[in-house]
């Protein structure tokens, strides 16, 4: 078994920055000639000692434990095991190959450095200058002139200034970007009325019908579309044409900026193309997945997925294995996904870390206004509001409140958002977001949220019988690590798009496109300050991107009080939080938290029982108060049931 040479070190050695991998050290288009080691060294030196650095160390330690766990599993495999899994892999490959569809022609288009290009178009004096859209805390997009210095999206602005002293900053203007995105989408509709927009500057188009009707090739359509976009917007875009969406996206990045790449609808051409393709080029394979595949199995290219297929089947879950094998075969989505009703709407903002409560509530007010405006534009009303917080220590928390009635106004949103934020204060934040879900008119939703059907009533009764909540409020608190910008949440027009995201492969539909979240439960009381509103609070914190990737992942349960231990040496058995052994103090604090939580619950139960006994003792023991037994209903024929047909026969005789 091959062990990768790039195993992360503990930070020692002469060049510790070589093992320091972050989301923004990976090359993007326009960074081909950049001195990678120099960029890594600058990022390492400027990040060292920061809360972000400490958080990255924790995540790196957890990744190393996962890799060691997989290696141990791999070492236990016998020849018979490998032979068994090889047969399974061969059967899977045959099934996947049989599903290959070469009849469709997909085009993926991506605007070139979109935000920066729009700003340059609006202000020609910025042309040919190294430009960054964003601020000192975070860069949303960097121009190609800035990328030559190693500056890129998802990089803090102060690091960008260190790499490029002449870097020019421009604040984002999302109204402007939305306008230009709308102009480009009008062009896309000419070629595919049902095109799939994945963000403001990216889209997938099924051009099969256009090519057939007009008798032209995919290459001609790509050239024509790019020219039309430039004429309509004054901006350039790049395009990729391939038999499926996954490969088309990879192709659009090959000749950036202002270029295109065409892959013929031929099986040999596709398999040859993916044979040497680095696995990190595939959407859905992030830095953790890349490290695991490389350091455990020595996989660096897509073709090697097929060569190590038996080990993939043995070590990973079925969903992950199918995805990996599909990548090795060059398979992706070919059918246009069915239109689905929007499930949620969100917006978020990143800012310099602050603990100023006045400023935080001001930012919350702005977010509520933006969310309310977006919802009212689409005539949407929702019931579940989620508050997303990222602390100064890069810890991500998610708090959710469910209202009794559907809401959409800024004022209603703020009622719940303020209550959620107030419960977390005091704290220092660097990111805040709001998301509304559970919209009216959803498939499983009744017309009146307060009226339940009979089966829903009994279903909810079963759930309530297993919870220890009070006043109808249940609270879930799981501590977790940040997930590097949230691996595949759909990009919102209010969110920074260009930041790179790692997506857990088990959750990607059609093997193309953020992780299982273990939950632990405890009860919490809240003052019901909102008149005629009952609401539920849920606390969920995000986990590492590959928490659900391996098939041996243990499920954490909070129901087993007093049995706290660390699964696989780093997973909390009670809530699923991952913390490596090297963080002794943090692990002790985490154990103490569960102990305190258990004691609080025991005290609450004892207090309730004691109060009940006191009340019973206060009751007068009088015969007058003795409850009288209910009269038994007399049944006909001494309790024998009448058959239904006999009953109706008897009724008819009486008539």
What is the rounded distance in angstroms from the CA atom of residue 405 to the CA atom of residue 534?
9
Q: Which one is predicted more confidently, 490 or 219? A: 219
pLDDT of 362-380, one tens digit each?
999 999 999 999 999 889 9
pLDDT at 45 over 60: yes
**Mean pLDDT of the 598-620 span:** 59
Residue 138 has what pLDDT?
A: 85
Tell whether the model's pLDDT for residue 544 goes beyond 60. Answer: no
Check: CB of residue 177 under 8 Å from CB of residue 200: yes
pLDDT at 205: 96
pLDDT at 396: 87
Lowest-pLDDT choice from 125-129, 367-371, 382-386, 587-591: 587-591
What pLDDT band is residue 440 in, cutting at 50, 70 and 90?
A: confident
pLDDT at residue 469 tops 80: no
Cβ neighbours of residue 605 closer than 8 Å, sequence gap 6 or more = none
Q: What is the mean pLDDT of residues 261-272?
A: 95
pLDDT in tens, 404-437: 899 999 999 999 999 999 999 999 999 999 999 9
- Which residue did the predictor score with more confidence, 438 or 477? 438
Strand order across the 260-262 sheet: 196-197, 202-206, 106-111, 237-242, 260-262
Bridge partners (DSSP) listed for residue 536: 402
C-alpha–C-alpha distance, residues 352 and 156, integer Å: 10
SS3 of 267, please?
helix
Angle at 187 between CA 181 and CA 188, to 5 degrees: 85
pLDDT for residue 297 is more than 50: yes
Q: Kindly indicate the confidence band of residue 193, based on its pLDDT and cuts at 50, 70 and 90.
A: very high
Q: Using 50, 70 and 90 to split pLDDT, how confident is the model at 109?
A: very high
**With contact defined as beta carbons under 8 Å apart, do 513 and 459 qualify?**
no
Residue 501 reports pLDDT greater than 90: no
User: What mean pLDDT do residues 159-173 have?
Assistant: 93
DSSP character at residue 428: -
Length in residues, the chain: 655
Mind telling me the catalytic residues? 202
Measured CA distances, 334 to 246, 322, 324, 363 (Å): 9, 16, 17, 42
- Is pTM, for the whole model, over 0.85? no
Cross-strand partners of 205: 107
Average pLDDT on 624-650 reads 50
DSSP H helices, 77-196, are 79-98, 114-122, 144-147, 157-163, 174-191
pLDDT digits (tens, 9 = 90+) for 231-256: 999 999 999 999 999 999 999 999 99
d(CA 193, CA 186): 9
Average pLDDT of the segment spanning 371-392: 92
- Residue 55 — very low, low, confident or very high, per pLDDT cuts 50/70/90? confident
Residue 50 has a CB neighbour count (10 Å cut-off) of 14
Q: C-alpha dihedral over 495, 485, 36, 273, to 10 degrees? A: -90
Q: Compare 323 and 352 and report the one with higher pLDDT.
A: 323
- Is the pLDDT reported for residue 125 higher than 80? yes
Mean pLDDT calculated for residue range 553-580:
55
Q: How confident is the model at residue 57 (pLDDT cuts 50, 70, 90)?
A: confident
Contact by Cβ (8 Å): 109, 239? yes
Mean pLDDT for 427-455 is 69
Does 584 have pLDDT greater than 50?
Answer: yes
pLDDT recorded at residue 32: 76
Neighbours of 67 (CB within 10 A): 21
Name the band, by pLDDT with cuts 50, 70 and 90, for residue 496.
Answer: very low
Name the burial class of residue 185, with classes exposed (0-12), middle (13-18) and buried (19+) by CB atoms within 10 angstroms of its CB. Answer: middle
Name the DSSP class of 537: E
* Mean pLDDT (whole number) for 525-544: 36
- The share of the chain scoring above pLDDT 70, in percent, equals 63
Distance, CA of 271 to CA of 249 (rounded, Å) = 16
Average pLDDT score over residue span 436-454? 58
User: CA nearest 225: which of 106, 61, 344?
Assistant: 106
Neighbour order of strands in the sheet with 396-407: 344-354, 429-439, 382-391, 396-407, 536-540
The CATH T-level fold of domain 77-102+276-337 is DNA polymerase; domain 1 (1.10.150)
3-state secondary structure of 549: coil
Q: Which two tokens stand for residue 43?
A: 């990022």
Residue 639 in 3-state DSSP? helix
CB–CB of 328/302 below 8 Å? yes
Task: Give the per-residue pLDDT at 11.
Answer: 44
3-state secondary structure of 294: helix
More confident residue, 540 or 248: 248
Structure tokens that stand for 496 in this block: 């920074």
The CA-based diameter of the chain, rounded to the nearest angstrom, is 102
User: What is the CB neighbour count within 10 angstroms for residue 169?
Assistant: 14
Give the angle subtended at the CA of 629 by the CAs of 623 and 631, to the nearest 5°.
140
CATH code for residues 344-442: 3.30.1490.100
Provide the pLDDT for residue 524. Answer: 31
Give pLDDT, residue 390. Answer: 92
Alpha-carbon gap, residue 210 to 219, rounded angstroms: 12
Q: Residues of the chain with pLDDT > 90: what percent? A: 48
- Judged against a pLDDT cut of 60, whether residue 575 lies above it is answered with yes
Domain boundaries, the chain: 77-102+276-337, 344-442
- 614: Cβ–Cβ under 8 A, 6 or more apart, which residues? none
How much is the pLDDT for 39?
Answer: 84
> Mean pLDDT across the chain, nearest whole number?
75
pLDDT of 190 over the 80 cut: yes
List of E strands, 498-551: 521-522, 536-540
Q: Which of 335, 324, 317 is nearest to 96 (CA)?
A: 324
Reduced to 3 states (helix: H, G, I; strand: E, B; else coil), residue 442 is coil
- Exposed, middle or buried, 649 (CB in 10 Å: 0-12/13-18/19+)? exposed
Name residue 385's beta-bridge partners: 401, 436
Q: Cβ(203)–Cβ(188) under 8 Å? A: yes
């Amino acid at each position: 078994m091959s062990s990768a040479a790039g195993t992360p070190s503990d930070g020692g050695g002469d060049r510790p920055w070589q093992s320091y991998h972050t989301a923004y050290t990976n090359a993007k288009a326009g960074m081909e000639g950049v001195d990678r080691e120099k960029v890594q060294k600058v990022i390492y030196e400027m990040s060292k000692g920061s809360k972000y650095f400490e958080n990255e160390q924790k995540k790196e330690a957890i990744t190393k434990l996962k890799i060691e766990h997989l290696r141990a599993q791999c070492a236990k495999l016998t020849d018979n095991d490998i032979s068994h899994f090889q047969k399974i892999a061969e059967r899977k490959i045959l099934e996947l190959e049989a599903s290959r569809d070469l009849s469709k022609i997909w085009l993926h288009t991506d605007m070139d450095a979109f935000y920066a290009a729009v700003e340059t178009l609006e202000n020609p004096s910025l042309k040919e200058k190294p430009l960054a859209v964003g601020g000192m805390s975070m860069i949303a997009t960097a121009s190609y002139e800035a990328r030559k210095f190693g500056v890129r999206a998802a990089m803090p602005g102060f690091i960008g200034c260190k790499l490029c002293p002449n870097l020019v900053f421009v604040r984002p203007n999302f109204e402007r970007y939305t306008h230009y995105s709308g102009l480009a989408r009008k062009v896309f509709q000419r070629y595919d009325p049902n095109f799939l927009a994945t963000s403001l500057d990216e889209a997938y188009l099924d051009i099969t019908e256009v090519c057939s009707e007009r008798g032209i090739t995919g290459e001609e359509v790509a050239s024509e579309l790019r020219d039309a976009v430039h004429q309509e917007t004054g901006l350039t875009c790049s395009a990729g044409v391939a038999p499926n969406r996954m490969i088309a996206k990879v192709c659009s990045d090959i000749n950036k900026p202002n270029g295109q790449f065409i892959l013929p609808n031929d099986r040999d051409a596709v398999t040859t193309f993916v044979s040497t393709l680095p696995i990190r080029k595939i959407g859905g394979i992030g830095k953790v997945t890349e490290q695991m595949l490389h350091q455990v199995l020595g996989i660096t290219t897509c073709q090697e997925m097929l060569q190590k297929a038996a080990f993939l089947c043995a070590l990973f879950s079925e969903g992950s294995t199918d995805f990996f094998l599909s990548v090795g075969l060059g398979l992706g989505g070919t059918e246009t996904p069915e239109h689905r009703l929007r499930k949620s709407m969100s917006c978020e903002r990143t800012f310099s870390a602050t603990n100023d409560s006045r400023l935080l509530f001001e930012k919350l007010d702005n977010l509520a206004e933006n969310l309310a405006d977006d919802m009212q534009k689409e005539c949407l009303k929702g019931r579940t509001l989620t508050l997303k917080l990222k602390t100064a220590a890069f810890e991500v928390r998610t708090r959710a409140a469910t209202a009794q009635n559907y809401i959409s106004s800024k004022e209603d949103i703020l009622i719940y958002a303020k209550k959620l934020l107030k419960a977390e204060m005091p704290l220092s934040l660097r990111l805040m977001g709001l998301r509304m879900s559970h919209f009216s008119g959803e498939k499983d939703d009744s017309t009146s949220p307060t009226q339940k059907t009979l089966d829903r009533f009994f279903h909810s009764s079963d759930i309530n019988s297993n919870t220890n909540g009070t006043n109808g409020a249940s609270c879930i608190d799981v501590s977790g690590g940040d997930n590097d910008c949230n691996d595949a949440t759909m990009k919102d027009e209010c969110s920074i798009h260009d930041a790179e995201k790692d997506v857990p492969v088990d959750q990607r539909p059609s093997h193309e496109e953020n992780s299982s979240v273990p939950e632990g439960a405890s009860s919490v009381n809240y003052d019901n300050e909102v008149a005629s509103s009952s609401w539920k609070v849920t606390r969920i914190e995000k986990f590492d991107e590959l928490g659900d990737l391996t098939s041996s992942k243990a499920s954490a349960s909070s129901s087993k009080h007093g049995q706290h231990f660390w699964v696989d040496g780093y997973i909390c058995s009670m809530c699923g939080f991952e913390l490596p052994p090297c963080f002794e103090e943090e692990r002790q604090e985490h154990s103490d938290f569960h102990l305190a939580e258990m004691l609080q619950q025991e005290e609450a139960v004892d207090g309730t029982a004691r109060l009940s006994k006191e009340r019973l003792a206060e009751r007068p023991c009088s015969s007058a108060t003795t409850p009288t037994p209910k009269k038994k209903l007399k049944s006909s024929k001494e309790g024998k049931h009448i058959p239904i047909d006999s009953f109706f026969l008897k009724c008819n005789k009486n008539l």
